[in-house]
Chain A
């Protein structure tokens, strides 16, 4: 049943829900028409089936005539049988008695037929001027029955009672068997509600206010929550970026000595070769070939120093998050060249197993370099205390297969102290560290970098010693990228 309100067409009543049963006390024939014409007009226009049950002071003929004047396009409603005008005595008094069961069954049948013909529901008005005192009690029983049963039906029923013939007792009977009463006296409308209806309306109004208030509060809360969440998410992203940068700088600061070595080495060679070149030119005759060769070496070493600085700058630089095609094997070689002094310092033997011709991955080169750098530095650190076996670090990269398609699989295998099986996942928790002065962010950030590339980062215990970290990055052609 639709919950939309029905326009009663009666000014002081306005819109009411289905299941409304009310009465109208009228003084004159005109009062009756002034109420019922707009009542049915509104019903017809709203797609309801209408039944007007007539008795004196109106005749069926008068009703049709007044309807014709009051309802535009009445012909159409008549031809498609949207409205019928019935005699009150035929409806209520067939067989000379008021048969409560028969009347209510008739209304039920009319309702069922109307619904099956596509009407929203039915709108009924019955006049009671025909009612004699001897039928009063039966008719009130019928009204009471209708009042009880109408609540869940798509019906609006308006019963009209002549005010002039209603005494106080009748008035009370009628008011008690309807949800509310309206009257127009000397041109002024009066609405008489039963206490239940007043209470129900007050309750509905209160519930509506509560509901509106709750909707408002909830909306405000949601808006605030969405705003908070957005701000929190932005702040978190900023913090992660900053932390990633700090972690990278921390790694870089660990590498500073190595970087100095990497730059000082070619600088020393440049100075020596340049001096040598001058000396060769100073010979008599000048040793031109040797001088030229020395100068060529100067150029080569200057380029080498420049490359070291460029690599270091690329690593220290804050990522702008831009993605490009990255050759993973080439990227690993660049990182390895940078950590070479660190490798030597810790007497680590690096074995490279880098497959060539791998498909590129689409990624943030700086962040991927940072991730690989972290894995390598972790591997070196993990072997710092190892003396009983070679400190071997195996860096591999090959084709891999992820859950979502092919990818490039990077492996960093150390022969270090390893970790307990139940600690393998903890390694990726923020601030989990086994290093005395570690931040404990490297692997945590590493994993988020891998995930940001649609990839995975995980650790496995080696059969003999140490751990292998695996990084799987989806290929550029992989649809997840």
Chain B
């Protein structure tokens, strides 16, 4: 299953649409906190994560996951795709960094790679 954490509703729906149209099972969350509260984390094959969000931001969640020994591959999807953000994200363990707007096949490729497909 692919989890999508983004505080933008239309983006959550579009990524869910894109991934489900090619057969992935998708679950979406509006915030990092909402994601951390979800109960079935074991089922997660990969996480598509926004960086800039109210409350806990994407980088904080990424670091939190790394600190708690999570092995979920994380793909960063952000509209603030500057070099500093890329460096920090990859440094904190993200497997891919995509700027918005992204190419659909780039996201699909990143998800497939993350899932080992």
Contacts and interface: CB of A to CB of B under 8 A. Distances in A.
A172 B15 CA distance: 124
Which 10 residue pairs of A and B lie closest in terms of their CB atoms, listed nearest first? A279-B21, A275-B104, A269-B14, A268-B100, A272-B14, A276-B17, A267-B101, A268-B101, A276-B21, A261-B79
Counting contact residues on chain A (CB < 8 A from B), the size range is: 20 to 34
B115 to A, nearest CB: 17
B107 interface: yes
Contact of A297 (B10, B20, B22, B80): B10
B54 A272 contact: no
9 contacts: A261-B79, A267-B101, A268-B101, A269-B14, A271-B104, A272-B18, A276-B17, A294-B14, A297-B13
Interface string B63-98: 000000000000001011000000000000000000
Given A260-B79, A341-B52, A344-B54, A265 B17 contact: no
A269 B52 contact: no
Interface string B36-65: 000000000000000011100000000000
A276 B18 contact: yes
A248 to B, nearest CB: 23
A268 B52 contact: no
Contacts of A270: 14, 101
Nearest to B19: A276
Contacts of A267: 100-101
A276 B105 CA distance: 11
B10 A271 contact: no
A266 B80 CA distance: 14
Interface of A: 257, 260-261, 264-277, 279-280, 283, 287, 290, 293-294, 297, 300-301, 304, 341, 344-345, 347
Given A261-B52, A268-B14, A276-B14, A290 B21 contact: yes
A301 B100 CA distance: 14
A273 B17 contact: yes
Contacts of B21: 275-277, 279-280, 283, 287, 290, 294
Nearest to B13: A297
Given A341-B52, A344-B53, A344-B54, A268 B17 contact: no
A345 B52 contact: yes
Given A271-B103, A272-B102, A276-B104, 14 more contacts: A265-B8, A265-B79, A268-B79, A271-B14, A271-B104, A272-B15, A272-B104, A273-B13, A273-B18, A276-B17, A279-B22, A283-B21, A297-B13, A297-B17
Contacts of B54: 344, 347
B86 to A, nearest CB: 15
Contacts of B107: 272
B100 A265 contact: yes
Contacts of B105: 275
B11 interface: yes
Contacts of B7: 344
A288 to B, nearest CB: 12
A265 B12 CA distance: 10
Contacts of B20: 276, 290
Contacts of A271: 14, 101-104
A463 B80 CA distance: 37
A201 to B, nearest CB: 90
Contacts of B101: 264, 267-268, 270-271
Nearest to B9: A269
B79 A301 contact: no
Contacts of B13: 269, 273, 297
Query: Looking at A276, A283, A287, A300, which has the most chain B CB atoms within 10 Å of its CB?
Result: A276
B111 to A, nearest CB: 12
A290 B17 contact: yes
A345 B105 CA distance: 29
B104 A300 contact: no
A441 to B, nearest CB: 28
Contacts of A301: 10, 14
A268 B103 CA distance: 8
Contacts of B99: 264
